[in-house]
Structure 1
C-alpha cells in the first residue's frame, strides 16, 4: 500500500513540476517583457574599510581589552592585482550556492535552480525527501540583500518575481566579477560585520591569507563558504552545527574536484582538531574576559555608533572577579563549601556561569571553560527543574490556584496525551505540600501547577522575565530551553520583590572622547511582591533535610537566599550509559539579596558520549553545587546581605490578566461573574489525592475541585 501511495505522489509531483515548468516559462517571458519595470539597483561598492577601535575596562578602569580594531567592513576584490578574496573560497562558495554563476546564459536566474528548489520543497512537504533547498542565484541573493538588507525572509510570489526582475536587471548591466564582489560585500555573517572580509578577520583574527597549515586553511575556507546558509546557528553552535557544515562543504569541494582526496582528508582532520573561531572580537584576550567582552559587543551592536570611531567602554565587571570565576568554570578553584570536596569535572563536560546584581541588573560575571564565549550568553539548553519556580509555580501562585498551604500530587502521573511522567528515581509520595513538592523537585506536582494556568497567564510573568514563548507544551514544565544569563536575570526578579531589571554589562561609553548618554535600564514587574516572597520561602526547602540538595548549597544568609537545581534527560538516540546513568545538563540557579546566579555543566552534544553522571546523585550534585556555591559566595563578599524586603506591590495592571477572586470568602455576584469569565481549569486530582481530601476536614485543607467544580 505504501508503495502505491509513493507512486501516486510521484505522479502528482511530475504533474505539478510540469505545470510549474509551464508557469515558470510564462514567468520568464513576463520577466523579459517587463524587466524594464524593475527597480534600477545600482552597485556602489565602498572602497574604504570601516573600523571601530575599542577599549573595554572594568568598573575600576582596569583594561580587560586593550585598544583593538574591530573591522566592520573591508571591501572585497575578486580579481586583479588587488585581489583579497582567495580563489579557493570563491570556487567553494559557488559550488555550494551557485555552480553555474560564470557559465549560464540566462541573465540573473537559473531555470534548473528554481525547479530543483521547488522539487525539494515539495518532497520535503510530502516527507519524501530531506530539508528543502534554496534555488536562488548569486544575482537574486544580491538583489534581496540590497532591497531587504538580507534580514527579512519574504517568500511570497510577488516578492520572488520582483527579486527575479531585479536580478535580471543587475545581470544585464554589470559584469560577473562586479556582481560577485557586491554580493560578498553585502553578506551579514556575524552580528558586528558587513561583508566576507570583515567577518573572516573577526572570526579568525587575521585577513584571508593562506597560512602555513594547509589543512587548517582549507577548513577555514569550507567554514566560511558554508556560513551564509545559517550564520547565527553555525557560529553559536560551532562545535556541532558549524563543524558539521564545514565538513559538508569539504565534501562538495572534493566532489567538484576543487581539492584532492588527500587535501580533503587533511582538512577533515583539521576541522576536528584545529578549526576554531574567535567570537566577540576576543582574539588575543585572556579567556577569563572573552565571554564578558562578547556580551559588551552584543550590546554595542544594537547602538548607532559611528562607523569610524575610537570607543571607550567602562563595564560593571571587575578583573579580579572575572579571573576568579574563570578558575571556577575551569573547576580549578578550591571548594568554598564545608564538607563538600571539589568534584572532578567529567571528561568533555562544558561549564557556564552568569552573575547579575539582583537589584540593578548589572552583569557582573560571564565565564565558561568552552572555546565558545557565547555559551553563557546565548547558547540555550534544557533547564531541567530550574524552570519550575518561574513557569509552573509562579503563575499558579499569582492567579490564586495554589498558595503556600496547598496540597499537590506527589505520585507519578502522565501528560495530557497519556505519556507517563515519573518523579526522579521513580518515587511516589502521595499528597504533598507545595513546599515539599518544589523542595524535592517533583515532576508530577510541577505538571499539575503548569496545567492550572493559561498561556496568557504564564506570559504575564514570563514576558517581563525575558523568556516568554508564544505557546508552551507540557514537557516544558520540567525543562525549558534557556541560557545561564537569561536564567540568572529571571531569578533576580524573585529576589527583587518581583521586579526584573534588564541586564546590561555597559556602565558608560565615550565616543571620540565624548560621553555618550545611555538610557536607563528598563525595570518591569514580573510578579507580585507576595508571589516573590512565597517563592523564596518555598525554594528555601530545596536545601532543607528533605530537599533535593540536602547536604550542600545551604543558605549562608538566612532570609536572603533561595535556590533551585535541575537536570535534563538525553534523547532516546543517546548511547548508554548516558541514557540510564547520566544527564546532558546539570543546573543550579539562585537569587540572593546581593547577586543572582545561574550555573550549568553539561555535554557539548546529545550523543551521550559526554555526560554528567546522575547515578549516584552525589556526582552531579557536587559538580553543580561546587559551581554555584563558589560563585555566589565569592560574588557576595563585602555586600550587605540583609534579608529580602517586600513591598506588597501587585503585578502591574498592564501585565496581569484578571485575578481570580479570593475564593475563601463568601462569593458575591461580581466574583461569580469574574470566575465565569476566566473559565479556570480545575486541577486534575488522582484517586489517592481525592481520598486524602475526603479524609480531612475543610478547616485543614482547601479542596480545589470543590472550589472550582470538577471538569
Structure 2
C-alpha cells in the first residue's frame, strides 16, 4: 500500500520560513496605512463640513454691500440763504474728498504700510485668510486666544462701516463676514471707489473723521496743498498715512515723540520700496512735525463762535427738525434756511446800540419777519455771547399789546353787525365779576365814553374788561386766539384780555396775520432739507385763515392810529408810512412789590409790535431778567419804540408802504382818514354756549368725535391716518376745522346731536 505523502514542513530558519514570517508584518503595515488614511480623510471631511457649517451659520445675517453704508456723511449742517454754514456740531468734524483729490504720496504711503497688494488682490489676502482660519480653529480650543489675520483695505473698510470698527461684535463672526463682504465689495466697486470710501471713513483723534479733516486739523492744509513733493509734505503725508492704525497713540498734540517715530517708520518703508530717494528720505526724516502744527481746538472754537452768533435762530431750526422726528446729532442733513446774514447782522447790531437802553442790565428781545412769515431777524439779548433766547421765552406778560386779539378782533369778527369802530364804550373803573378787585386804566385815568377805535389806540384796560366779560365770553376769545396761535390756556376772561404770557415770536406771527388781511402764516425758518441720497424736501408756507379780511382791515385801520402823536406809540411815528400800524403794551407790578425806580416810576415789561403793508412785522420786548428787584421800566422811557421805528426804516430801505386795500365787506360810516368810522358786513356770531374747547392742537386730545358724534365725523377718525381730519389736526389746523362750519360746530352740545 502506497503511503500518503506527508505535508511539507519548513525547516526552522530555512529561507522559505523566513519569507513567510516577513510577509505577515508587511500586510499589517499596509492595512494600517490604508485605515489611517481613510480615518484622516474622514476627519478632514468632518473638519471641512464643520468649517462649512460654521461659516454658513456666520453668514446667515450677512448684510448686503451698499454704497449708502460705505459713504461717509458730514454731520447735520445748517446753512444760510447763500449756502454758508451757520451751525454744525463742534465736537466732531467730517470732511470727505473724491479720489482725484487724494494726494499721490499719501496714497502711496498708505498702501505701502496697509495693503501692498491692494491693486491686485480680490478684496482679501490668501495668507491673511489662512492665518484667520487657523486662528478661528485655535480660538475654539483656547477661548483666550484672539484670532488675527492680515486685513486688506477692503476688509478694514467693511469693519469700519458695518461693524463699528469692530466694537460690540464677536471677533470670529466679524472676521468671517468681513471676508465675504470684502469679496462682494471688490466685485461691485472699482479699486478707486474702495480707496475713496476708506480714506473718508477713517476716524482720528481731535474729533476728525476723514483724511481731509485731519490734515486740516493738524496742519491747516487741504489735499491740494500736497501736490508739491517737498520734505515737509513728504513728512506730513507719511505721518498721516501711518496715523490710522493708532490715532490716539500717535496724536501729534499729545504725543509728538511717538508721532515723529511713526513718521520715520513709514518713510523707511517708502525708501525700502524705492518710492522716495535717499535725499528725500533724509530730508523728510529730519523734519519735526511739531513745527507745522497749528493751535489746538481752533476749529471747534471757531465753530462754537459761529454757532453762538446765530444760536437764537438755529435753535429754532433745530427744534423744527426734532419735531419732524429727526435727531440732528445722529443723522446727516443739509438744512437750507432763509437767513440772510447781512440783514440779520444789521438787525442785531442796531438792537445792541447803547442809545436804546437805560443801563447795562436792561434786556431787549426782538423778532422780525417779512410778510411771507420768514423770520429775518431774532435777537435774544443785548450781549452777543448771551445764549439765553429771550425772543422765544413765554414767561413774561404781553401787557396790552395783544388787545387786538383778546378783545377787539373777536368783537368785530363775531359781532360786527352790532359793534363798529364808532361804538362808544364806558372807560370807567371796572370791577372783576364776583370780586371786589378793580381794573383801572394806565395812570388810573378815566375818559368817559370812548369810541372803539380810540379805546384801542389809547389802550384802555377797562373797555377790554367789559368787552371780554360782558360781551364775548371765554369761548369766543378762545376760538379767535386759536386762529392766530395765541390759544395758550383752557379758558379766558378780562384778566387775560390785558395780558398773555407769550413770546416775541408768537406776537410777531399773530400781527403778521393782520398784515396779510387775516391769513396766518406759521413762522418760517427752513427753506429745504437735503438728504444723503440726494433727495430734497422743500417747505411751503403753512397758512390758515385766522379771521376774515374785513376784520383784519378794520383792526389795521384802528392800529394805524397807535404810532401817532396823540396816542401810545408817538415815539415810533413814521409820518411818511401810510401802511404802518402797531400796538404798545406795558406790565405793572403787583401791589406788594415796589422795585427801585432810579429812572422813574413804571412797570416790569414794555412791548411794541409794529407792521408795514407788504413789509415787516417787528415785535420788541424789553425788561430785566429779575424784574422784582431790578429798576422799573419808567413810563417816560421810549427807547424800545424808537428802536422798533428805526428797524422798520432799516428793513423797508426807503420804500413807503401804502395803506391796505379795503375789502368790499367793509362799509364806511363816516369821517375821513384815521378818524373814519367803519363796520364790517360779513360778521358771523359764534353764539357759543357751554362747549369747552381743548387747549391743545394735538388731534388726539381734541376728541372731536365725542363732541359731534358720528353724525358729522367718521367714527374712530383719530385712529385713521387716511381720514382728512387726522393730518389736518396733526398739522395744527384751525379749530374748529374749515370743513365743519364754525356756526354748526358751536351749535353742537357735548352730547353730539345737532340742535
Q: Match for residue 358 of structure 2?
A: 345
| C-alpha distance 459-678 of structure 1, shift in aligned 2 (>3 A) | closer
CA apart distance, 1:520: 2.8
CA apart distance, 1:381: 1.2
DSSP-derived class of the 2:643 partner: helix
Q: Match for residue 649 of structure 2?
A: 633
Q: Match for residue 465 of structure 2?
A: 447
| C-alpha distance 677-421 of structure 1, shift in aligned 2 (>3 A) | closer
Q: Match for residue 703 of structure 1?
A: none
Indicate yes or no: 2:349 matched with 1:322: no
Q: 2:510 aligns with which of 481, 490, 493?
A: 490
DSSP-derived class of the 1:524 partner: strand
CA apart distance, 1:309: 3.2
CA apart distance, 1:376: 0.8
Q: Match for residue 604 of structure 1?
A: 625
Indicate yes or no: 2:626 matched with 1:582: no
Q: Match for residue 402 of structure 1?
A: 419
DSSP-derived class of the 2:359 partner: coil
Q: Match for residue 411 of structure 1?
A: 428
Whether contact under 8 Å (1:439, 1:546) holds in the other structure is no
CA apart distance, 1:570: 1.9
DSSP-derived class of the 2:447 partner: coil
Whether contact under 8 Å (1:585, 1:600) holds in the other structure is yes
TM normalised by structure 1 equals: 0.50
Whether contact under 8 Å (2:527, 2:539) holds in the other structure is no
CA apart distance, 1:419: 1.0
Q: Match for residue 380 of structure 1?
A: 395
Structure 2: distance between partners of 1:640 and 1:613: 32
Q: Match for residue 381 of structure 2?
A: 369
Q: Match for residue 624 of structure 1?
A: 640
DSSP-derived class of the 2:392 partner: helix
Structure 1: distance between partners of 2:73 and 2:533: 17
Range 521-530 or range 371-380, more displaced: 371-380
Q: How does 1:122-133 map to 2 (within 5 A)?
A: none
Q: 2:317 aligns with which of 296, 304, 314?
A: 296
Whether contact under 8 Å (2:528, 2:539) holds in the other structure is no
Whether contact under 8 Å (2:381, 2:390) holds in the other structure is no
Q: How does 1:124-523 map to 2 (within 5 A)?
A: 283-285=304-306, 287-305=308-326, 308-332=330-354, 342-358=355-371, 360-369=372-381, 371-400=386-415, 401-416=418-433, 417-451=435-469, 452-468=471-487, 469-512=489-532, 514-523=534-543
CA apart distance, 1:679: 7.4
CA apart distance, 1:571: 2.8
CA apart distance, 1:541: 1.7
| C-alpha distance 287-597 of structure 1, shift in aligned 2 (>3 A) | same
Structure 1: distance between partners of 2:686 and 2:332: 61
CA apart distance, 1:343: 4.0
Q: Match for residue 277 of structure 1?
A: none
Whether contact under 8 Å (1:460, 1:526) holds in the other structure is no
- Whichever of the two has the greater Rg, that structure is 2
Q: Which runs of 4+ in 1 moved over 6 A?
A: 674-677
Whether contact under 8 Å (2:562, 2:569) holds in the other structure is yes
Q: Match for residue 109 of structure 2?
A: none
Whether contact under 8 Å (1:289, 1:367) holds in the other structure is no
Structure 2: distance between partners of 1:585 and 1:508: 37
Gaps of 5+ in 2: 1-71, 94-206, 208-301, 667-678, 691-755
Q: Match for residue 553 of structure 1?
A: 573
Structure 1: distance between partners of 2:611 and 2:319: 25
Structure 1: distance between partners of 2:324 and 2:341: 25
Question: 1:196-227, CA deviations, whole angstroms, 9 ceiling, x for partnerless residues?
Answer: xxxxx9xxxxxxxxxxxxxxxxxxxxxxxxxx
Whether contact under 8 Å (1:508, 1:515) holds in the other structure is no
| C-alpha distance 357-676 of structure 1, shift in aligned 2 (>3 A) | closer
DSSP-derived class of the 1:543 partner: coil
| C-alpha distance 411-573 of structure 1, shift in aligned 2 (>3 A) | closer
Structure possessing the higher relative contact order (Cα contacts under 8 Å, 6 or more residues apart): 1
DSSP-derived class of the 1:396 partner: helix
Whether contact under 8 Å (1:51, 1:70) holds in the other structure is no
Structure 2: distance between partners of 1:595 and 1:675: 31
Gaps of 5+ in 1: 1-49, 72-200, 202-280, 333-341, 651-662, 666-670, 681-711
DSSP-derived class of the 2:361 partner: coil
Indicate yes or no: 2:588 matched with 1:569: yes
| C-alpha distance 394-555 of structure 1, shift in aligned 2 (>3 A) | farther
Range 413-422 or range 583-592, more displaced: 413-422
Question: 1:520-548, CA deviations, whole angstroms, 9 ceiling, x for partnerless residues?
Answer: 33211111111111111111121233211
Structure 2: distance between partners of 1:412 and 1:572: 17
CA apart distance, 1:67: 6.3
Work out the number of aligned pairs and report it: 389
DSSP-derived class of the 2:391 partner: helix
CA apart distance, 1:595: 1.2
RMSD: 3.4
Whether contact under 8 Å (2:366, 2:504) holds in the other structure is yes
Range 379-388 or range 632-641, more displaced: 632-641
Structure 1: distance between partners of 2:380 and 2:334: 25
CA apart distance, 1:515: 3.7
Q: Match for residue 77 of structure 2?
A: 55
Q: Match for residue 534 of structure 1?
A: 554
Whether contact under 8 Å (1:56, 1:315) holds in the other structure is yes
Structure 1: distance between partners of 2:608 and 2:572: 12
TM normalised by structure 2 equals: 0.47
Structure 2: distance between partners of 1:466 and 1:457: 14
CA apart distance, 1:677: 6.3
